[in-house]
């Protein structure tokens, strides 16, 4: 193949050499590191941050990774929904996908386009052995482009244990069949009286046999990942492996053998103060709040304290099962001499309310609990890396806000790849090395619809001087007259400060900054028109030519 060397260094290659699609520059001398990406689905902040009064699961394997790597304690997704978030971090761009496929209105984009490039495609074209296990939820065709015809990514939010033939075969090999629950968690229906949504529960025995942890869906995914690692062709080639877990997303599937741990959790578990306050008021909020939260309380229907205790207990158990299976996967990597030799990225696509404000799961709202996500990067140990990237001594904690958009450019930097496609992320290594985030690449997030439509956009920013400087999240609710302002510090009360007169200057700063961002980026012009109409006394330049005559 003919290579061209550019003035900036590196060979020009193409994702498709036949038609010249996806040109990129490749520096082979700065490549060759193995890269393992592990994602989880919907992880609440207290599962990875030390929050006073909150129960933290027992996760020795995730903690091991954190202790050997770099932990970003202020990482944020671009959306609280699976499809938009995944589309964003895979492309490195704010996504035009604004809702999950199962909730979309006719005309909404729900899959990535053929012309889109996800970063694993660059890795494959530069010589990486690319493999994937688990969920895609962005359209299967792009995963086939990136990972080949061996891939079988499932493209929906719900767990595939209901109908995935390979998992059923996996169960059959262990002497089991499709499982059912001996105890199932239900919310209330929309009237608040009958049975509503199912959130999974505890798996029942089969033919007198307890259902073991090594027959759960996370165990199945880890077995598939281990088989991928062992069967890869050309072990001298660098490996990119992406393992996308479904958990701890509900519906939960708790196996046998966890009774003692369950009792320990229930004895220590405390429901959130905000849930208890709402419960005392018959779930009518004693504070101003956007309508969307009331609608989601109806949808989830967790008015009964016992049901929420079951939900939060099951979620902790599900997360601990996930950690156990991660430990088994790490053992496989060590046996294949890959653990020390690899970059390992661990993160979630978005967060989870987990009972706060009497809500669980996520929704068509932008709240710090559903936007913040864990993010850990473990570099290769010692001299195993070929990149020459400057890194701090590990373990390290980075408190500067970052976006999941920053993952794609960081991984391409590891691989010695650069390109001229539009990206909205900034390499994590820039943040690690103390470089200031460019003004034109802010940390933004967006939602359009989920259970209900509720277009909203939010900005992560810092405000104040010296010891009074804090991180905030401002949410502009386009269809509600109540917006939201939160301090991004779980040591202070979790309340909406939008109506607090003492915070008026912070709101004005956020509105002004958001308006400037939207004004100068064509993709956000719809929001610019809306926020300019809502805040004409703050937004400058929003009063003229609103009909776009010029």
Query: Is 506 contained in some domain?
Result: no
- Buried-state track 509-542, b at ≥16 Cβ within 10 A, e below 16: bbbebbbbbbbebeebeebbbbbbebbeebbeeb
C-alpha to C-alpha distance for 53 and 274, rounded to whole angstroms: 13
Query: Is 536 contained in some domain?
Result: no
DSSP string, 420-470: -S------HHHHHTTPPPPTTS-EEEEEEESSSEEEEEEEEEEESSGGG-E
Domain hosting 68: range is 31-499
Q: If you average pLDDT over residues 68-77, what whole number do you get? A: 97
C-alpha to C-alpha distance for 216 and 135, rounded to whole angstroms: 16
Q: Is the dihedral of CA 290, 291, 297, 300 positive or negative?
A: negative
C-alpha to C-alpha distance for 39 and 331, rounded to whole angstroms: 18
User: At 31, is the pLDDT very low, low, confident or very high (cuts 50, 70, 90)?
Assistant: confident
- Cβ neighbourhood burial of 438 (10 Å; 0-12, 13-18, 19+): exposed
CA 282 → CA 15, 286, 309, 437, distances in Å?
Answer: 57, 10, 18, 45
Nearest-10 crossing angle of helices 60-68, 305-335: 60
293-505-80-261 Cα dihedral, nearest 10 degrees? -80
Q: Are 36 and 333 in contact (CB under 8 A)?
A: yes
Tokens for 463? 């405000």
Average pLDDT, the chain: 93
For residue 284, pLDDT beyond 90: yes
Query: Is 138 contained in some domain?
Result: yes
Tokens for 40? 């989880």
Query: Is 462 contained in some domain?
Result: yes
Q: If you average pLDDT over residues 173-192, what whole number do you get? A: 96
Residue 241's region, left for phi above 0, alpha for psi from -120 to 50, else beta, is beta
pLDDT digits (tens, 9 = 90+) for 308-345: 999 999 999 999 999 999 999 999 999 999 999 999 99
What's the number of domains the chain is made of?
1
Query: Is 520 contained in some domain?
Result: no
3-state secondary structure 179-218: CCEEEEEEEECCCCCCEEEEEEEEECCECCECCCHHHCHH
Q: Are 443 and 402 in contact (CB under 8 A)?
A: yes
Q: What is the CATH number of the domain that holds 65?
A: 3.40.720.10
- Looking at residue 121, its pLDDT comes to 98
pLDDT digits (tens, 9 = 90+) for 454-501: 999 999 999 999 888 999 999 999 999 999 999 999 988 899 999 999
- Looking at residue 28, its pLDDT comes to 83
User: At 89, is the pLDDT very low, low, confident or very high (cuts 50, 70, 90)?
Assistant: very high
Query: Is 156 contained in some domain?
Result: yes
Q: If you average pLDDT over residues 105-128, what whole number do you get? A: 95
Tokens for 359? 């809500």
Query: Is 51 contained in some domain?
Result: yes
Three-class SS of residue 251?
Answer: coil
DSSP string, 71-135: EETTEE-S-SSHHHHHHHHHHTS--S--S-GGGPPTT---S--TT---HHHHHHHTT-EEEEEEB
Three-class SS of residue 153?
Answer: coil
Query: Is 94 contained in some domain?
Result: yes
pLDDT digits (tens, 9 = 90+) for 381-436: 865 566 678 788 778 999 999 999 999 999 999 999 999 999 999 999 999 999 99
Whole-prediction pTM value?
A: 0.96
Q: Are 351 and 43 in contact (CB under 8 A)?
A: yes
């Amino acid at each position: 193949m003919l290579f061209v060397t550019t003035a900036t260094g590196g060979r020009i290659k193409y994702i498709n050499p036949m038609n010249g699609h996806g040109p990129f520059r490749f520096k082979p001398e700065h490549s060759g590191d193995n890269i393992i990406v592990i994602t989880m689905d919907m992880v609440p902040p207290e599962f990875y941050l030390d929050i006073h009064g909150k129960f933290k699961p027992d996760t020795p394997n995730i903690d091991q990774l954190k202790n050997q790597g770099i932990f970003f304690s202020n990482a944020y997704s671009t959306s609280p929904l699976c499809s938009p978030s995944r589309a964003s971090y895979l492309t490195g761009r704010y996504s035009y996908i604004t809702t999950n496929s199962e909730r979309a209105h006719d005309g909404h984009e729900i899959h990535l386009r053929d012309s889109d490039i996800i970063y694993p495609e660059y890795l494959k074209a530069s010589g990486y052995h690319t493999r994937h296990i688990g969920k895609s939820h962005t359209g299967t065709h792009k995963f086939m482009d990136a990972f080949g015809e061996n891939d079988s990514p499932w493209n929906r939010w719900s767990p595939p244990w209901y109908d995935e033939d390979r998992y059923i075969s996996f169960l059959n090999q262990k002497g089991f069949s499709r499982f059912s629950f001996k105890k199932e968690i239900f919310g209330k229906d929309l009237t608040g009286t009958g049975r509503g949504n199912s959130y999974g529960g505890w798996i029942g025995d089969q033919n007198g046999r307890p259902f073991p942890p090594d027959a759960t869906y996370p165990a199945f995914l880890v077995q598939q990942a281990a088989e991928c690692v062992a069967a890869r062709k050309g072990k001298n080639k660098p490996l990119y492996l992406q393992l996308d877990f479904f958990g701890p997303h509900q519906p939960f599937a708790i196996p046998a053998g966890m009774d003692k741990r369950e009792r320990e959790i229930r004895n220590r578990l405390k429901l959130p103060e905000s849930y208890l306050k709402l419960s005392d008021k018959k779930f009518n909020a004693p504070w101003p709040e956007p309508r969307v939260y009331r609608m989601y309380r109806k949808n989830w229907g967790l008015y009964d304290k016992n049901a929420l205790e079951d939900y939060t207990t099951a979620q902790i158990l599900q997360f601990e099962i996930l950690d156990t299976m991660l430990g088994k996967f790490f053992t496989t990597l060590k046996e294949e001499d890959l653990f020390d030799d690899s970059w390992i990225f661990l993160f979630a696509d978005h967060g989870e309310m987990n009972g706060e404000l009497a809500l669980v799961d996520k929704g068509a709202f932008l709240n710090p609990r559903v936007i913040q996500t864990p993010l850990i990067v473990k570099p290769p140990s010692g001299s195993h890396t070929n990149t020459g990237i400057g890194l701090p001594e590990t373990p390290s904690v980075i408190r500067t806000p970052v976006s999941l958009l920053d993952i794609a450019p960081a991984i391409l930097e590891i691989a010695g790849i650069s390109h001229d496609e539009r990206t909205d992320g900034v390499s994590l290594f820039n943040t690690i090395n103390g470089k200031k985030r460019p003004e034109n690449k802010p940390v933004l997030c967006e939602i359009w619809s989920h259970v209900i439509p509720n277009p909203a956009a939010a900005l992560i920013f810092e405000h104040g001087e010296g010891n009074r400087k804090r991180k905030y999240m401002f949410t502009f609710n386009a269809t509600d007259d109540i917006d939201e302002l939160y301090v991004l510090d779980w040591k202070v009360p979790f309340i909406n400060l939008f109506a607090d007169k003492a915070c008026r200057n912070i709101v004005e700063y956020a509105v002004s900054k958001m308006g400037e961002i939207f004004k100068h980026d064509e993709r956000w012009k719809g929001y610019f028109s809306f926020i300019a109409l809502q805040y004409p006394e703050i937004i400058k330049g929003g009063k003229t030519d609103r009909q776009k005559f010029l």
